Structure 1
Amino acid sequence: MPSSASPPVSLASLQTDLANSHARNTRLVTQIRRLERRLSELMGKQAWRESGLGAPADHEELQRQVTRLEQMNTELTAQLEERDAELEAARAANRELTRALNQRESAGR
């Protein structure tokens, strides 16, 4: 025997409850996806730091530093090649002067 104290359930009230449940479910799914994405980002950053490679933002700075160092290496290599050429020219001149000096001494005897 049904209790007369409980209100009768109508089709409209059940449909409203169902619509509200669907809306709440949609909001919860959206929130869960957002939280999963955020958790994934945080775990990725943590794994990056723990790997010893540094934070992702440091990667860009390191890349700029690598580029600067590569450019500096190219410039220093060019300077070294130029100085090697100058040194070779100085050695050749020294050999020529030594040869000329030795010939002069030989001729003077």
Structure 2
Amino acid sequence: MNTNTNTNAIAAARQAHSTRCRQRVLTALEQAAHSGDEITVSAIARRARVDRSFLYRHRDLHAAVLVKAAEPATASTGGPSASRPSLIADLANAHDRITRLSHENTQLRQRLSEHLGEQAWRESGLCPPDDIDRLQRRVTELEQHTAEQRRQLAERDDELDATRATNRELMTRLNRPHPDGA
């Protein structure tokens, strides 16, 4: 019977400890909800000074933590408050916006650098004249004109060669003796 008494005493002590831990978890959960602190299994376990496994073993406590975490936080400022998922979404959107703005900023800096470089080049006097585009267009026009003239010259050369061949043939016929003796 002595062992039975010890077993009962140990079970009662364990039950009392579990009740105290349960009460600390509930108190920590209410305090976190009231103060607007983070409500997660880890945060509540840390605040209640219990192991996370305690919350997982007591499904009702685990469910209470999840329910409180899903509720919008009650801020002491009296203004509207945002839920944790909403804040996480806002944070992700802010990160995306920062990335986009950073990329745009890099592009704008590059364009500004190029523009300032061109301006400094022009002001230094080392750059080609401002009418370089007009001159380049004129060079292109002249190159096209030259190509057309060369094509026409090649056609005339071909015609001249054909005419010369015809003349040679005619001259050869004229210089041949005629069979009638004339």
Normalising by the residue count of structure 1, what TM-score does the alignment of the two structures yield?
Answer: 0.50
Larger Rg: 2
1:62: how far off? 1.3
Q: Aligned to 1:96, which of 157, 163, 169? A: 169
Q: Aligned to 2:159, which of 86, 90, 98? A: 86
Confirm whether residue 64 of structure 1 aligns to residue 141 of structure 2.
no
Q: Aligned to 1:47, which of 123, 126, 140? A: 126
Q: What is the RMSD of the two structures over their aligned residues, measured on CA atoms?
A: 2.1
Residue 51 of structure 1: aligned partner: none
Q: Which amino acid aligns with 1:75?
A: E
**Partner SS, residue 60 of structure 1:** helix
1:73: how far off? 1.2
Question: How many residue pairs align between the two structures?
Answer: 63
Deviation beyond 3 Å, 4+ runs, structure 1: none
Map Cα deviations across residues 31-86 of structure 1 (whole Å, 9 max, x no partner). xxxxxx49x72x522112xxxxx41x221011101110111011101101110111
Structure 1 Cα separation of the partners of residues 141 and 151 of structure 2: 15
Confirm whether residue 74 of structure 1 aligns to residue 147 of structure 2.
yes
Structure 2 runs not aligned, ≥5 long: 1-115
Normalising by the residue count of structure 2, what TM-score does the alignment of the two structures yield?
Answer: 0.31
**Partner SS, residue 47 of structure 1:** coil
Q: Which amino acid aligns with 1:44?
A: W
**Partner SS, residue 157 of structure 2:** helix
Structure 1 Cα separation of the partners of residues 132 and 159 of structure 2: 40
